[in-house]
Amino acid sequence: MAGSEVRDDIKKIVYEFLADECEVDIAAITDTTNVIDDLEGDSLLYIEMLQLIKKKYTLNVSMQAVGKYMLQNRAETVGKVIDLMIYVIENQEKLI
């Protein structure tokens, strides 16, 4: 799958997931939407999204590695979440 296709795929997953979990209209979500402040989400959502991505792309990465990466690279907006997911797919266990 080409890079742009992966991004489109991840964007679709993230948008649909957040709209469903946070019970908001998908049209109201943009890349600048803040997951915690605007969608009233919590850190469980990040874990759920990561589990979804791990299953879909059969990734070899621990939640601990992602958690450590996120200490330095916070993903507060939807756009940043998408970037995070792509970085995880590309680097897997080597992301830290």
The residues that touch other proteins, with contacts defined as CB under 8 A, are 42-44, 46-48, 51, 62-68, 70-71
We find the least distance from the C-beta atom of residue 95 to other proteins, in angstroms, to be 11
Select 7 or 73, whichever has its Cβ closest to other proteins: 73
**Minimum Å distance from CB 33 to other proteins?**
20
- Which CB atom, from 52 or from 86, has the smaller least distance to other proteins? 52
Minimum gap (Å) between residue 50 Cβ and other proteins:
9
The sign one gets for the Cα dihedral 34, 40, 42, 45 is negative
Helix segments in the chain, DSSP class H: 3-21, 43-57, 63-72, 78-91
DSSP reduced 3-state for 77: strand
Q: How far is it, in rounded angstroms, from Cα 40 to Cα 64?
A: 24
Give 27 or 71: the residue with its C-beta nearer to other proteins. Answer: 71
Q: Which of 95, 43, 93, 21 is CA-nearest to residue 83?
A: 95
Q: Which one, 4 or 58, has the nearer CB to other proteins?
A: 58
